[in-house]
Chains A and B, each alone.
Chain A
Amino acid sequence: MTPPVNYLDFYTLLPYLILTVWACLLLFVDAIFIPKTSKGITALLAAVGLAGALGYSITQVGIPPASGFNRMVALDGFSTFANILLLASGLFGVALAYGYTRRMGIERGEYYTLLLFSVSGMMLMAQATDLIIVFLALELLSIPLYVLSAIARKLDSEESGVKYFLLGAFASGFVVYGTALIFGATGTTNLALIFVQAASGGASILLLTIGAALLLVGFGFKVAAVPFHMWTPDVYQGAPTSVTAFMAAGAKIAGFTALFRVFTTAFPAIAPDLTNILWVISALTMILGNVIAISQSNIKRMLAYSAIAHAGYILMAFVPYGNSAVAPTAVAAGLFYLVAYAVSNFGTWGVVIALEKAEGRGLEINDYAGLSKKYPALALAMTIFMLSLIGFPPTLGMVGKFYLFRSAIAGGFPGLAIIGVATSLISAYYYLRVVVNMYMKDGDPTVEREPWLGFTAVFTAVVTVVVSFVPQILFLLASTAVLKSY
């Protein structure tokens, strides 16, 4: 007989509950009290909710791990690290959306509510220790994103919403069927018990491997890994840019935290088979993402392929996940890189939003010509982000890549590290093309001056450079976060 649920269970879900309850209240408050002309108040209230949950999550750093609801969710260092990162991403998502939605005439209260629901789904994903919760969280984060992609109600936006929806639902079909097979192999959906069953030989290894592979397909869609990346360019291009910025960071963080936790907790026993699959996916993702990005002229599409490539880099460190000597460092390197990627990502998209005009103009890479003469600070910030995405010192991206390559080599996969370095060199070509356009060509770009946009660009640029000089602090934080979850 399992023990009944008590208040301690709710305590383990508190960061998630704060945000969900706040989002439900906001839905009513926005519909009843806030007039159509002042939806900025809704943005402010959403930011207050995110900041409150963020403040609470920060106080949770270093507390002993706990699990709740009969081991369905866990509140440990790993999930607190992910929660802080996700809530901060939500705050940046609101900051970027505030001026952009108003300028583009798509300002609606439900935008912020949906964003809060999506963040809460991502947090639940990081806390889930049962495949039922993983599935619920996956849908809770995805469904608001489908709506947000289509929220502009223009042709491009709706098209991206439908494509994202169909492929996202397709992916969750794989997750559900994979879960069914894993349940069939082990008789449980709890991650820790799956491991116990698989290790004791009481499970059908074939069924378990197929189930894990199907789960990998589903997560691969979420993090945009090749060959499950087809939706990424279209959705990133068609969705409103502020939505793209949020989903590029948030969905990737959530997908990878779930992947890390599910695979390291439940599937070490079948690691040899899965490692081969992960190797191929990681190599293909790095190569294809970087090579196709070269030929893009639209900056949103280019950044979409860059997002695909970065999924490959993070997967690279995770390939030897079954090797228990390497796995904690690999996951720590992955978490570190997710931070680095999220920071550079929000900065880059902030600059893209600043240059975007109505009707989708101002999104070609050529539109960045001459930016350094008129707006030197903005051009400098964009240069920092591009260098960080290449992995060039002194930026956070360089340190992050160093940790990823190091753990790939430590795990016995120097070949992957070589592919990683080679594709990073290829990526320099298309990232630097933006820099060349800004500094060496003549043009007359105009930029929207919005305080929150400027704040985001400056803040992320400063973090990208400053933290790269003291990366040990962040890496230590990521390492302790991981060790507690084992």
Chain B
Amino acid sequence: MVPVDYYIALSAILFTIGALGVLSRRNPLIIFMSIELMLNAANLAFVAFARVYQTFSGQIFVFFVIAVAAAEVAVGLALIVEIFKTRKNINIDEMNSLKG
């Protein structure tokens, strides 16, 4: 059996990759994928810890996270499509009409 520490280490690595992706990428779709990676890293950690404690509550949290992430996808993709229709471009470096 694989020790639980490995799962936690993997989830920490995935979370870090996701966070770095959000900070370094310039396409909102890729940024959004990185955010999903962060959420799924948390899901992996939840499931691993739920196994340690022999409790279901961690697994149930994962279902909540998946459902909420789906709701976020619906809103997020709609926003990105909408801004693409307005400006024919979704690069966030060019989203600079707001500044002071």
**Which listed residue (A143, A150, A161) contacts B72, Cβ 8 A?**
A143
User: Quick one: CB contact mask for B36-51 with A, threshold 8 Å, 1 for yes?
Assistant: 0011011101101110
User: Quick one: CB contact mask for B9-22 with A, threshold 8 Å, 1 for yes?
Assistant: 00100010011001
Task: Decide if B49 touches A158 in the complex (CB within 8 Å).
Answer: no
| A–B complex contacts, Cβ < 8 Å, 16 sampled | A132-B60, A146-B79, A161-B82, A161-B83, A166-B28, A166-B32, A169-B32, A173-B18, A176-B39, A176-B65, A177-B38, A180-B49, A184-B45, A184-B48, A233-B100, A295-B100
In the bound complex, residues from chain B placing their C-beta under 8 Å from that of A139 are: 68, 71-72
Task: Decide if A237 touches B98 in the complex (CB within 8 Å).
Answer: yes
A103 located at the interface, meaning its Cβ lies under 8 Å from any Cβ of chain B in the complex: no
User: Quick one: CB contact mask for B60-80 with A, threshold 8 Å, 1 for yes?
Assistant: 110011001001100110011
The answer for the CA separation of A166 and B98 in the assembled complex, in Å, is 16
Interface size class for chain A?
35 or more
The answer for the CA separation of A31 and B45 in the assembled complex, in Å, is 42
Q: How close is A298's CB to chain B, nearest CB, in angstroms?
A: 6
User: Quick one: CB contact mask for A139-173 with B, threshold 8 Å, 1 for yes?
Assistant: 10001001100100111101111110110011011
Q: How close is A167's CB to chain B, nearest CB, in angstroms?
A: 9
A136 located at the interface, meaning its Cβ lies under 8 Å from any Cβ of chain B in the complex: yes
Task: Decide if A170 touches B35 in the complex (CB within 8 Å).
Answer: yes
Q: How close is B64's CB to chain A, nearest CB, in angstroms?
A: 6
Task: Decide if B83 touches A297 in the complex (CB within 8 Å).
Answer: no
A35 located at the interface, meaning its Cβ lies under 8 Å from any Cβ of chain B in the complex: no
The residue on B at minimum CB distance from A178 is B42
Task: Decide if A158 touches B61 in the complex (CB within 8 Å).
Answer: no
The answer for the CA separation of A296 and B75 in the assembled complex, in Å, is 32
Instruction: List 13 other contacts, CB 8 Å, given A156-B98, A166-B31, A183-B61.
Output: A132-B60, A135-B68, A136-B68, A146-B79, A153-B82, A155-B97, A159-B97, A163-B92, A177-B41, A187-B53, A234-B98, A234-B99, A301-B100
The residue on B at minimum CB distance from A292 is B100
**Which listed residue (A155, A156, A165, A173) contacts B76, Cβ 8 A?**
A165
The answer for the CA separation of A146 and B86 in the assembled complex, in Å, is 17
Task: Decide if B57 touches A162 in the complex (CB within 8 Å).
Answer: no
Chain B's interface: helix, strand, loop or mixed, by majority? helix
In the bound complex, residues from chain B placing their C-beta under 8 Å from that of A189 are: 57, 61
User: Quick one: CB contact mask for A192-235 with B, threshold 8 Å, 1 for yes?
Assistant: 00000000000000000000000000000000000000000110
Task: Decide if A180 touches B45 in the complex (CB within 8 Å).
Answer: yes
Task: Decide if A159 touches B98 in the complex (CB within 8 Å).
Answer: yes
In the bound complex, residues from chain B placing their C-beta under 8 Å from that of A160 are: 98
Q: How close is A176's CB to chain B, nearest CB, in angstroms?
A: 4
A179 located at the interface, meaning its Cβ lies under 8 Å from any Cβ of chain B in the complex: yes
The answer for the CA separation of A332 and B69 in the assembled complex, in Å, is 35
Task: Decide if A155 touches B87 in the complex (CB within 8 Å).
Answer: yes
Q: How close is A197's CB to chain B, nearest CB, in angstroms?
A: 11
Q: How close is B54's CB to chain A, nearest CB, in angstroms?
A: 9
Task: Decide if B28 touches A143 in the complex (CB within 8 Å).
Answer: no
Known: A176-B42, A187-B49, A187-B53. A162 touches B75 (CB 8 A): no
Task: Decide if A146 touches B95 in the complex (CB within 8 Å).
Answer: no
Task: Decide if A296 touches B38 in the complex (CB within 8 Å).
Answer: no
Q: How close is B58's CB to chain A, nearest CB, in angstroms?
A: 6
Pairs of residues from A and B, 9 with the lowest C-beta to C-beta distance, nearest first: A173-B38, A180-B45, A184-B49, A301-B100, A187-B53, A176-B42, A177-B42, A234-B98, A180-B42
Task: Decide if A298 touches B100 in the complex (CB within 8 Å).
Answer: yes
Interface residues of A in 63-81 (CB under 8 A from B): none
A437 located at the interface, meaning its Cβ lies under 8 Å from any Cβ of chain B in the complex: no
Q: How close is B35's CB to chain A, nearest CB, in angstroms?
A: 5
**Which listed residue (A136, A156, A183) contacts B58, Cβ 8 A?**
A183
The residue on B at minimum CB distance from A297 is B100
Task: Decide if A136 touches B46 in the complex (CB within 8 Å).
Answer: no
Q: How close is B48's CB to chain A, nearest CB, in angstroms?
A: 8
The answer for the CA separation of A177 and B100 in the assembled complex, in Å, is 34
In the bound complex, residues from chain B placing their C-beta under 8 Å from that of A150 are: 79, 82
The answer for the CA separation of A179 and B92 in the assembled complex, in Å, is 30
The answer for the CA separation of A153 and B87 in the assembled complex, in Å, is 12
Task: Decide if B75 touches A165 in the complex (CB within 8 Å).
Answer: yes
Known: A139-B68, A170-B35, A180-B46. A132 touches B98 (CB 8 A): no
A371 located at the interface, meaning its Cβ lies under 8 Å from any Cβ of chain B in the complex: no
The answer for the CA separation of A276 and B32 in the assembled complex, in Å, is 32
